């Protein structure tokens, strides 16, 4: 799953949010969707953290 790009993860997460907000999912499906959404959030946060570290390193080198 880490093979997802940031954009792919965000798009899938947005789809899950829409489905959960609609409130039409059976409970078990809603729980699975929530779990998947949590995993996607962690992936996105990790990718953003990696980019932030790269930017900080590049900034330090340019100073």
Domain positions in the chain are 6-62
By the 8 A CB rule, do 40 and 6 touch? no
State the pLDDT at residue 45: 97
pTM comes to 0.83
Whose CA is closest to 13, among 41, 50, 45, 43? Answer: 41
pLDDT in tens, 3-62: 899 999 999 999 999 999 999 999 999 999 999 999 999 999 999 999 999 999 998 888
- What does the block give as tokens for 33? 């969707």
Quote the pLDDT of residue 5. 95
Is the CATH code 1.10.3470 the one for domain 6-62? no
Is the confidence at residue 63, as pLDDT, over 80?
A: no
Whether the predicted pLDDT of 2 surpasses 80? no
């Amino acid at each position: 799953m880490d093979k997802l790009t940031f954009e792919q993860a965000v798009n899938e997460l947005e789809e899950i949010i829409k489905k959960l907000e609609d409130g039409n999912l059976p409970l078990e499906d809603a729980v699975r969707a929530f779990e998947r959404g949590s995993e996607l959030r962690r992936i996105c946060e990790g990718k953003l953290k990696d980019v932030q570290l790269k930017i900080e390193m590049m900034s330090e080198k340019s100073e």
